[in-house]
Structure 1
Amino acid sequence: MSWVLGVDSGGSGLRFALGSVAPGGTGETGAAGGTGVVAPVATCSSAEPVRTGPGGIDPVHLLSRLLPAVDELAARAGVAGPVVLDAVAIGAAGMATLGDGLRAELPGALERSFGVRGIALAADAVTAYAGALGQRPGAVVAAGTGLIALGTELRRWRRADGWGQLLGDCGGGAWIGRAGLEAALRAYDGRRGGSPVLLSRMEAFFGPAPELPGLLYPRSDRPAVLASFAPEVAAAAAVDPVAAGVLAAAARHAVEAAAAVCPPSGPCEVAFTGGLFGLGEPLLGPLRAELAEQLPEATAVPAAAGPLDGALLVAGALATDSLALPRDARLLTISTDHDR
């Protein structure tokens, strides 16, 4: 029996999963699909996110959280003695732009601590892809507070959006929340395009309109605060055409991102994953309509699992030498004991 570890690191904290790989197993392979051979054994989580600083994601802080988590997982799994990990896969928000420190320091530290033979450091969009589609070609739109699309034909990655609330993330939770709040404030001012329905919901949710800037602008978690209003926009959509229009625009942006990353030849499977799609029919209805218009040849498929499951799948494939997802200097880097 060999052990692998999957890690999902994001703005809401850390999640860890310990998995076992059966002796002689072969991992999930490319377009052939399949379920792979990794069996999840134990999970745990921490609500404190990993720190970031001028050097990007802090590898020392991540390691300080990972070490006790492995001990906890081993205890839950009933493992006697130190755990030797064959492979670790870490999916982290910001890995593409803030992961240089992790890529430089974490492989050696994990080898020293656990005897790790292989480590995969991935953008959280990659582990979301792996959780949703496994190791087969297609496209995945991952949306929560933000929104990013990733696609591949298993030779290279194609990415769209994921540029953050100031430059993009169009159609994500923060984008929907901000558009809803803007419509509410237009109604408060008496400008065209305003929504009295959203104004009422905004004041019930945040308080009087003049106080909103003071509540929002000083916050370091502004995207999350904006996204917290997205369910209010969805709830208003049935009775308010302005709110319905916001969700229709969000669906259009999400499908535009999917269209940008679908493999250029052949039919494309598209999966939508992430908490945003829990808004339900007010968003899913326009999403189906946009798919029919923009990607009539694509097949919408349900996401098989989430990013933590995707990290575990990548770790299992790495341990069994069956990783088919393409490597990338920013999105998915692999380090093995042969490289160190």
Structure 2
Amino acid sequence: MSWVLGVDSGGSGLRFALGSTAPDGTAGVTTVAATASAEPLRTGPSGIDAGQLLARLLPAVDTLLAQAGVDTNTNTDMEAGSGPGVLSAVAIGAAGMATLGEGLRAELPAALSHSLGVRRLVLAADAVTAYAGALGQRPGAVVAAGTGMIALGTDLTGWRRADGWGHLLGDCGGGAWIGRAGLEAAMRAHDGRRGGSPALLSRMEEVFGPAPELPGLLYPRTDRPAVLASFAPEVARCAAGDPIAAGIVSTAARHIAEAAAAVCPPSGACEVALTGGLFGLGDPLLVPLRAELAGQLPHATTVSAAADPLGGALLIAGALAGDTLRLPHDARLLNVLTEQDG
């Protein structure tokens, strides 16, 4: 039996899962234990804080191995100063890895080798672990949508990415995008401008207070995308009876379908999986999205995601341990680091 670790780092904190796999990797990965840390990782000048991740990861590994009943003291392969050496592979999926992962890529391999004896490590964008969780290692496309929105596709020779550029430059159709559009429509109604929605104004004032106070409440916040996204469910609820809200959600569906169309492998049929909390908005979003996907991707089949990003990280770790990883390597999206890499 081989032990592997999957890590999912996002805006809601970190999640860790310990899995077991057969030495040849043919039987897949079985989740044995899981734990979580609620505080998200901070970012600094070199990106995601590698030291903070390591400080959370090491005690989590101890907890998981204890839950699994693994006695690390009996491991005879341990080298001096290299930790227990129990884990065959680790896969870490993190939000912002593609653009803010330099610190992790520079510091984590040596740190994990020294602390845990890890010789096989994958550092992946959270969209990649979402892809692996949703579709495994087969070709297709995945749209991951929550506060933000990113689409990722592969034909297993390379990755195609669309959006995921953050709430100022993109994430079109994501939760922050829908929430911001809804709040704008509410402020238009407050001003008496065209395109305003009295229904959304009413909901906004119930949630945030008087309209003139909203800028002062919103702009100083460092978590503005999450605050904007918190209003997306209100927009969806209003969509049934309010044409402005319905138009916002329909436009979001078009943006999401456009991103999926941009990343689908160009030849043959394409499976498209939808994953992330945004799709919990239900029919107000899903009905127009299905119509948009049918129009923009008539050759595609929408499928349910098999697992979440943590499950995807665990699948990648298991495949790496068994030398069966087929997803394309990429310096920013799926960075594979092994002992021989130095």
Q: TM over 0.5, yes or no?
A: yes
CA shift, 1:81, in A, is 2.4
User: 1:148 pairs with 140, 146, 150, which one?
Assistant: 150
Residue of structure 2 equivalent to 1:13: 13
For residues 42 and 239 of structure 1, the distance between their equivalents in structure 2, rounded to whole angstroms, comes to: 45
- How big is the alpha-carbon RMSD for the aligned residues of Structure 1 and Structure 2? 0.9
For residues 248 and 33 of structure 2, the distance between their equivalents in structure 1, rounded to whole angstroms, comes to: 40
CA shift, 1:229, in A, is 0.2
Residue of structure 2 equivalent to 1:33: none
Seq. identity, %: 78
For residues 46 and 204 of structure 1, the distance between their equivalents in structure 2, rounded to whole angstroms, comes to: 32
Equivalent residues in 2 for 1:237-248, closer than 5 Å? 237-248=239-250
What do the CA deviations read for 1:130-178 (whole angstroms, capped 9, x no partner)?
0000000000000000000000000000000000000000000000000
For residues 190 and 64 of structure 1, the distance between their equivalents in structure 2, rounded to whole angstroms, comes to: 52
What do the CA deviations read for 1:216-247 (whole angstroms, capped 9, x no partner)?
00000000000000000011111111111111
CA shift, 1:23, in A, is 3.4
Asked if 1:80 corresponds to 2:71, the answer is: yes
Residue of structure 1 equivalent to 2:43: 52
What do the CA deviations read for 1:106-125 (whole angstroms, capped 9, x no partner)?
11111111111200000000
What do the CA deviations read for 1:27-53 (whole angstroms, capped 9, x no partner)?
xxxxxxxxx511000000001111210
For residues 339 and 98 of structure 1, the distance between their equivalents in structure 2, rounded to whole angstroms, comes to: 21
For residues 61 and 341 of structure 2, the distance between their equivalents in structure 1, rounded to whole angstroms, comes to: 24
Residue of structure 2 equivalent to 1:320: 322
**C-alpha contact (below 8 Å) 2:144/2:274 kept by paired residues:** yes
Residue of structure 1 equivalent to 2:22: 22
Equivalent residues in 2 for 1:192-207, closer than 5 Å? 192-207=194-209
After TM superposition, the runs of 4+ consecutive aligned structure 1 residues lying more than 4 A away are: none
For residues 109 and 25 of structure 2, the distance between their equivalents in structure 1, rounded to whole angstroms, comes to: 24
Q: Give, as a single letter, the amino acid of the residue that structure 1 aligns with 2:194.
A: R
TM-score by length of 1: 0.96
User: 2:232 pairs with 223, 227, 230, which one?
Assistant: 230
Q: Which runs of 5+ in 2 are unaligned?
A: 74-83
CA shift, 1:85, in A, is 0.5
Residue of structure 2 equivalent to 1:209: 211
What do the CA deviations read for 1:181-239 (whole angstroms, capped 9, x no partner)?
00111111000011000000000111110110011000000000000000000111111
For residues 190 and 146 of structure 2, the distance between their equivalents in structure 1, rounded to whole angstroms, comes to: 28
For residues 18 and 315 of structure 1, the distance between their equivalents in structure 2, rounded to whole angstroms, comes to: 10
Asked if 1:101 corresponds to 2:92, the answer is: no
Residue of structure 2 equivalent to 1:261: 263
76-85 or 52-61: bigger deviation: 76-85
Q: Give, as a single letter, the amino acid of the residue that structure 2 aligns with 1:4.
A: V
What do the CA deviations read for 1:26-82 (whole angstroms, capped 9, x no partner)?
2xxxxxxxxx51100000000111121011111111101100000111121122225
What do the CA deviations read for 1:69-106 (whole angstroms, capped 9, x no partner)?
00111121122225510000000011111111111111
Equivalent residues in 2 for 1:161-310, closer than 5 Å? 161-310=163-312
For residues 28 and 167 of structure 2, the distance between their equivalents in structure 1, rounded to whole angstroms, comes to: 38
SS at the partner of 1:301? strand
CA shift, 1:256, in A, is 0.1
SS at the partner of 2:320? helix
- Aligned residue pairs: how many? 331
Residue of structure 1 equivalent to 2:55: 64
76-85 or 286-295: bigger deviation: 76-85
For residues 127 and 326 of structure 2, the distance between their equivalents in structure 1, rounded to whole angstroms, comes to: 16
SS at the partner of 1:79? coil
